[in-house]
Each structure stands twice: as structure tokens, then as C-alpha cells.
Structure 1
Amino acid sequence: MPGLARWRRGTRPPFPGPAPRRCGPARGCHRVRPTGPGRGRCPPLCGRPRRARRPGRQRASVSEFAIRVELDPEACVEAAAGIIAASLSEAVATRGHADWATTGGSSPRGIYGHLSSAPMVDVIPWADVDVWWSDDRFVARDHPESNVKPFDDIMLATDTGVQIPLDQVHPFPTGEAIGRGLGADWCARTLADSLRHAATADADGWPVFDLMLLGIGGDGHLLSVFPGSTAFDASDLGLAIPAPTHIEPHIERVTLHPRVVEVAREILMVAYGSDKASVVAQIFGSDRDPRRWPAQLARRPGATWILDEAAAAELPR
């Protein structure tokens, strides 16, 4: 893979020290394989000495994306939760507030479990965090296919949930739209209007999230933007997406415009399992074509990709 810094399994990256040799002429990605008791912590960028960080310290600007390979899915979600806790805490310390866009799929449930448990639950200043969804299935909030249900079940549980004000949790209003017969277009527009009226940062009219948690579909989609989607050519922030026929579940979707992935301050992509190995290899191939592989939008500066060994199996060593 162009621009990929490679580490042998079982060794620690040589920090501090000279920048590692990169394979290929292009630059764009660090790859690290954390091991040992520090596996759950992110190493600094290659070639830079480790600096002590006080709570809330803004990290230096990241000019490249990172690929982080963990042993298994549990290690992935643990590492992702640590990054989310650090990112949201830094955003609050730096700007007084954090806007976090979360997602659906299999990984958020495990991540939420870590975020709602000690010690992370006591580290994140939840009172200053707003939570949004980048996409959802057009079903009621308590439907098994809802992207919001895992958050409600774990993060808002009465006995173990986090202390976040409910008016700072912003799902797509699917239940209201369905109950009133207003349709997915109204649902998508309503969340977009809420984003515009919120105090989120703005980049040429697009909301800027402090952190976006993303997953990748087996066809290379992210958000509910599928390969060849007309969403790329849309001008609206919130979009209704017809039910896909090539991938399950075959349910109508609502999504934010893919442009929000490009303007977010930080991107965290989590993928694990052998069924993701082929599509991950395609996404990091030499040809960049986000319309064919929408998840390539997350191959950008300021992004961290967390993969397990199975999902990373077809990447160059």
C-alpha cells in the first residue's frame, strides 16, 4: 500500500527516533501494531518523541491517517472507546463543547459498553457533549434495526448509563416521521435543520463534527451512502436513501451528506472480521474512487482506522 509504514508483529514502534522507511513513493498513512500492556493506547506519530499530555490538551495537527491493527474485535472496541474518550475530552477542554456523530453496525454496541463503564464514564464531560447520528434505518427508535437502539439500551440505561442530558441526544426523528406519515425526506430534513440551528462549527455550510465514528459495509459503503449513490451529487445536508436491494437490511435509510466526512475534525473508522478483509484491501488499493468505494472518504488526514487482524489480513505487510 502506498505510504504505509510497516511494523513486524510483536515489536514496538521505534519511538522516539527517525521516521520509519515508507514503502512506495506516496505518503499518507502510518500503520502500527500495538502489543503488550499498552495495546489500548495510541502511539504518537512516527518519528516524534512522546510528550506528556495533560487532560484536554489539543493534539498536534495530524497530516496523515493512521491504520491501527488490533488482535481481535474486543481489542478494537476497547481501543476505539479510548480514542473517543480522549477526543471528546479534548474538544470540551479546547472549545468548551463537543459534537460527536455516531453510527450503526456491530461495533458501536461494544464501544458503548466501554464508554458507559469505569473508568471512561467518569472521564468524559458528558454534560458538554452533543450526540448525533450520521445515518439510520427508517424505522422506529426501538426497532431492532435502528442505529439508535444500542445507544439507548447501553448509554442511556437507568442503572449504568452516562449522565448526558437527553436534549443533547439527537437521533433522526424516525418515530415521529413514521407516526405522522411524513416520510423519510421530512425526517432527514428535520435532523439537518437541527444541526444548522445547533452551535456546531461550520465549513461552507456543512456541519463540522469534532469526531465521527464510522463503520464500513461489506460493499464499501459508509453512512448510508452506497456505491454509485446519487447522494454525492445532492446539495441537501439530510437525505432519504431508497432501501438497498444488494445488501441487508432492505430498509429505507436516512443519512447525512457524505461531505460531512470530509470536513469533520477527526474520523474514527472501526472494522473487524474476515468478511471485511477484501473490502478493506480494495479501499486501500491504489485507485481512489469514492463513488465506487464510499468508505475511501475516510482515508483522509485526521482519520484513524482500527482493524483487527482478520480485517487487515489482505493489506500489505
Structure 2
Amino acid sequence: MPEPIVRVFDDEHDLAVGTAGALLFAAMEAVARRGHFHWALAGGSTPRATYRVLAAPPFADDFPWDRHDAWLGDERCVPADHPASNARMIREHLFRPAGAEETALRAFDTETDPDAAARAYAEQLAAAVPKNDGGVPVLDVVLLGLGADAHTASWFPGSSFPEDRWVAASAGQHGGQRRLTLTPTIVNAARRVVFLVAGETKTDALRRVLQGPHDPVRVPAQRVAPEHGKVTWMLDAAAAGQFFAG
């Protein structure tokens, strides 16, 4: 596994601009090399700021809106118009401001049985995304956040996922809302994994993930360990703290 790259920005605005630039570069590279860009998007307030930047000039002018599919890293099992829906947030802050075709957003079916929805989403991935030699779809970019408990996507402490599954239903924290999530198997097959992290409440989680000890059951973000892909941590100064700022 290649060493992760850590980039630190002065504030959340600079973080959003820097991440939007990195996503645009990855999209243009994917289209130039393979004709299409497949990326998985994260929910949350920090990615939302990046989507707003990406949806506006100059980034939106160069993004290949007609040659991409936007998958979801995870989603809550709520109706599509629910305020907690990641798909709704992405439509409102990325697709609609950019005037982009919303059919490119590959949302989960959140109003059916979660296990059936996970299987259906895996079938969509299998049909649309080129695979590696092991038969796993290779996304160009997976964008992830990080919780204060070191969870990412809907991989919470204590959770586990079968290695032969690309998508799974997941229980929320403390018996909370059911969720659907990409699994470590497909995330670790991606060409690039980009963590987007802001705020001083995340500094301890960052240290646990990057400094160890290695305990992916308690520190789920440590499950991100691609054999060939690149991992980049995009941080604001508040999240980086003194340790990562140096």
C-alpha cells in the first residue's frame, strides 16, 4: 500500500477549493484515459462545501458533466426528499447549481428492503463500472469523511463486512437509522481515496487512524488500505492540529 498523502489547508474554504481542484483533475484524467469518470460521493457538511465550489465557475466550466457517474459512498434508509438524505444534499448543492443532468447521480433505492437495495446497487456497479482482475469494480475516486469516533462511510466501530460484498446494509450507531454503504472491498479497489476532514473535533480521530495502533474494528477508517490506489487526506488546519500542521 502506498504511503498516504496529507495536505493541510488554512481553513474550510481553502479546503473546499483545494478538494474541488483535486476532483476536477481526477475527472479530467479519467475521461482522457478511459472516456468516463466514476466517483463515489460522501455526505456531510464538509463535502457539501466542496460540492458548492465544484458546481460554480471556474471548476464547473471544465468538469465533464456528460461523462461521469456519481455513486454514493453511503446513504441513510430515508425517503429521497428527507432532509437527512445524502442524495438530496448532493442534488441540491452539486447537480442543480451546476445545471447537471441528475440521472448521473446513482442513488440508492432507500424505500425498499435494505438488503435487496444493497444487492441492486451492487448489480448497477457491476454493469456500469470497469472491473479489475479480481472482478471488483474500480471507481476512479471515492470521497470519504471521518467521524470523531473514526468511522467513515457507514462503517462504525464494531462493524464488519463480507469480503465478497461491494455494498451492504449497515446498522447506524447505537441501533440508529439503517444505512446502505459501499464496503471496504470496493473502496480499496479504487484508484484514489480522498478523505475530507475539517474541525478540531476530528484531530484525535486522525491521530488514531494514521498513527495507530492498528485496530480497524475500533478504528473503522483504518480499513481503507488500497493495494494499488492512492489515499489522500485533505485537512483544514483545525483538524490537522499541531501534529499534522508540521
Same fold (TM over 0.5): yes
Residue identity matched to 2:107: P
Q: How far apart, CA to CA, are the structure 2 residues paired with 1:268 and 1:261?
A: 11
After superposition, the C-alpha distances for 1:7-53 in whole angstroms (9 at most, x for unaligned) are xxxxxxxxxxxxxxxxxxxxx8xxxxxxxxxxxxxxxxxxxxxxxxx
Residue identity matched to 1:227: P
Q: How far apart, CA to CA, are the structure 1 residues paired with 2:194 and 2:133?
A: 20
Q: Are 1:75 and 2:14 an aligned pair?
A: yes
Sort the Cα spacing of 1:243 and 1:296 in 2 relative to 1 into closer, same or farther, 3 A: closer
Tell me the equivalent position of 1:167: 103
Contact 1:213 1:269 in 2 (8 A): yes
Q: How far apart, CA to CA, are the structure 2 residues paired with 1:97 and 1:254?
A: 25
CA-CA distance at 1:314 after TM superposition: 5.3
Contact 1:138 1:254 in 2 (8 A): yes
Q: Are 1:241 and 2:170 an aligned pair?
A: yes
CA-CA distance at 1:169 after TM superposition: 1.6
Q: How far apart, CA to CA, are the structure 1 residues paired with 2:133 and 2:42?
A: 21
Q: Are 1:229 and 2:229 an aligned pair?
A: no
Residue identity matched to 1:73: E
After superposition, the C-alpha distances for 1:228-249 in whole angstroms (9 at most, x for unaligned) are 2122x35322211123218xxx
| Larger helix share, 1 or 2 | 2
Contact 1:244 1:252 in 2 (8 A): no
Residue identity matched to 1:302: K
Sort the Cα spacing of 1:240 and 1:273 in 2 relative to 1 into closer, same or farther, 3 A: same
Tell me the equivalent position of 1:261: 187
Sort the Cα spacing of 1:308 and 1:251 in 2 relative to 1 into closer, same or farther, 3 A: same
Tell me the equivalent position of 2:144: 214
Tell me the equivalent position of 1:270: 196
Q: Show the 5 A alignment for 1:86-105.
A: 86-105=25-44
Q: How far apart, CA to CA, are the structure 1 residues paired with 2:201 and 2:186?
A: 27
Q: Name the TM-score, length of structure 1 as normaliser.
A: 0.72
Unaligned 5+ runs, structure 1: 1-27, 29-62
Q: Are 1:315 and 2:219 an aligned pair?
A: no
| Secondary structure of 2:51's aligned partner | helix
CA-CA distance at 1:115 after TM superposition: 0.9
Contact 2:79 2:85 in 1 (8 A): yes
| Secondary structure of 2:124's aligned partner | helix
Which 4+ runs in 1 deviate beyond 6 A?
none
| Secondary structure of 1:100's aligned partner | strand
Decide which structure has the larger Cα Rg and report it: 1
Sort the Cα spacing of 1:190 and 1:69 in 2 relative to 1 into closer, same or farther, 3 A: same
Q: How far apart, CA to CA, are the structure 1 residues paired with 2:179 and 2:132?
A: 25
Q: Determine what percentage of the aligned residue pairs are the same residue.
A: 34
Tell me the equivalent position of 1:120: 59
Q: Name the TM-score, length of structure 2 as normaliser.
A: 0.92
Contact 1:188 1:238 in 2 (8 A): yes
Q: Give the total of aligned pairs.
A: 243
CA-CA distance at 1:305 after TM superposition: 0.5
Residue identity matched to 2:93: I
CA-CA distance at 1:290 after TM superposition: 2.1
Contact 1:208 1:265 in 2 (8 A): yes
CA-CA distance at 1:151 after TM superposition: 1.1
CA-CA distance at 1:107 after TM superposition: 1.5
| Secondary structure of 1:188's aligned partner | helix
Tell me the equivalent position of 1:302: 230
Larger RCO, structures 1/2 (Cα 8 Å, 6+ apart): 2
Contact 2:152 2:221 in 1 (8 A): yes
Q: Are 1:143 and 2:73 an aligned pair?
A: no
CA-CA distance at 1:94 after TM superposition: 0.8
Give me the CA root mean square deviation. 1.9
Unaligned 5+ runs, structure 2: none
